[in-house]
Structure 1
Amino acid sequence: MPKALLLIADGSEEIEFVIPYDVFTRAGFEVKSAGVQLKNENWAHCTRNIRIVPDHHSLSSVPHQNAHETFDILILPGGGPGAKTFCSSEPVLALIHEFRKAGKYVAAICAGTTALVASQKMFGGEKGRATSHPSVKGEVEGEGWEYSTERVAVDGRMVTSRGPGTAMLFALTIVELLCGKEKRDEVAGPMIVAETL
């Protein structure tokens, strides 16, 4: 089964972290999370005052030196302050670059897309077609990326989405990409997922 690594920072959007983690677990993924620059090393203080305890308090404590070789996909939630932390973290931007260079999946939702843009700006590589929360559209387009208004945009091995309301579709799309439509339907059915996602 696929292995997924989710990042989280203070100011990350809870829904965009928890829904993918939950959906991937239901799909049988091996899921791990890592904190980025957390003020309290035990938990992330998210945008709506919910505190989330990541599996690893920092990227350096993930027990795999070359995460891009161990994990099949890297996921970044949004939330403005959390996304800014990702964008200012050279280890995060380098990790994104390593995943992309290795041909692994990289996924970001909401303002998290700005970290994909920042990684490409710092380390090079291809720009792509992406979506994001409308509040950061200018940051994405301004760096020459093709902007999409799809609820979930898939461009090769890069998956982006728009915001909290698209988190379920984002997660299920990733399940389908990595495990096929049958697995997606198997996960979505018991959750009574609305067809109007």
Structure 2
Amino acid sequence: MPKVLILVADGSEEIEFVTPYDVFTRAGFEVVSAGVELKENYAHMTRNIRIIPDFPSLLSLGQQALHEQHDILVLPGGGPGAKTFATSAPVLDLINAFRDAGKYVAAICAGTTALVAAQKKHGGEKGRVTSHPSVRAEVETKGGWEYSEERVVIDRNLITSRGPGTALLFALTIVEALAGREKRDKVALPMIVAETL
């Protein structure tokens, strides 16, 4: 069973956190969320919803290397939350560890900026990605990454997507990457997912 680690910070986007978490659970994945630099025991999201992560911080997950315990790291967007990820040394180190181990890293919306920041800090390959249009210059012009306007982009072990309206497609794409097309279809069918998202 695939194991997923989703990060959340104050200012993360609700839909981009909850939708993947829900879809992965429906797929039977083991899903764990961890807070990053939270001011309280919950994340105060962009639309004032409060979400309590499974673990209040990355440190509370224990000392074992997280990239060895999980198959994918997922970063939701939301401008303030993404900025927290992109300026957090533990998050940037974690992204690098997943990438070095050949594990998947997925980011949606402004969350892609954390991939750019991790690559600037640690080096390594840049890839073809997408993001919310508001951070395109940060990713493409300043970061030097190849940019696409596709709703979801898969480039080797990087999966990126554009924003709240693509969160369901993003999540289903991750299910397919980790468990195959049959599992994706099995999850999508009872959800009455439109043929075009």
SS at match of 1:5: strand
Partner of 2:67: 68
On the 8 A contact 1:64/1:70 being kept in 2, the answer is: no
**Runs of 5+ in structure 2 lacking a partner?**
none
Check 1:124–1:61 CA distance in 2 against 1; reply closer, same or farther (3 A cut): same
Whole-angstrom distance in 1 between the partners of 2:31 and 2:102: 19
RMSD: 0.6
Mapping 1:129-168, distance limit 5 Å: 129-142=128-141, 143-168=143-168
Amino acid at match of 1:158: L
- Partner Cα separation in structure 2 for residue 168 and residue 107 of structure 1: 13
User: How far apart are the structure 1 equivalents of 2:17 and 2:50?
Assistant: 12
Kindly state the Cα deviation for residue 65 of structure 1 after the two structures are TM-superposed: 2.3
> C-alpha separation between the residues in 1 aligned to 2:15 and 2:61?
23
Shift of 1:96: 0.1
What corresponds to 1:6 in structure 2? 6
TM-score by length of 2: 0.99
Q: Which residue number corresponds to residue 37 of structure 1?
A: 37
Q: For the residues of structure 2 that align with 1:64 and 1:183, how far apart are their CA atoms?
A: 32
Task: Give the length in aligned residue pairs.
Answer: 196
Structure 1: 5+ residue runs without aligned partners? none
Give the TM-score normalised by the residue count of structure 1.
Answer: 0.99
Q: Does the alignment pair 1:86 with 2:46?
A: no
Q: Secondary structure at the match of 1:188?
A: helix
Distance 1:78 1:19 in 2: 12
Q: Which whole-Å deviations, capped at 9, do the CAs of 1:75-105 have from their partners, x for residues lacking one?
A: 0000000000001100000000000000000
Cα deviation for residue 196 of structure 1 reads 1.4
Structure 1 residues 64 and 24, CA, compared in 2 at 3 Å: closer, same or farther? farther
- Which runs of structure 1 show a deviation greater than 6 angstroms over 4 or more consecutive aligned residues? none
The one-letter amino acid paired with 1:76 is L
Q: Give, in angstroms, the shift of residue 57 of structure 1.
A: 0.2
Counterpart of 1:189 in 2: which secondary structure? Answer: helix
Q: Which residue of 2 aligns with 1:27?
A: 27
SS in 2 for 1:33: strand
Cα deviation for residue 185 of structure 1 reads: 0.3
Deviation (angstroms), 1:63? 3.1
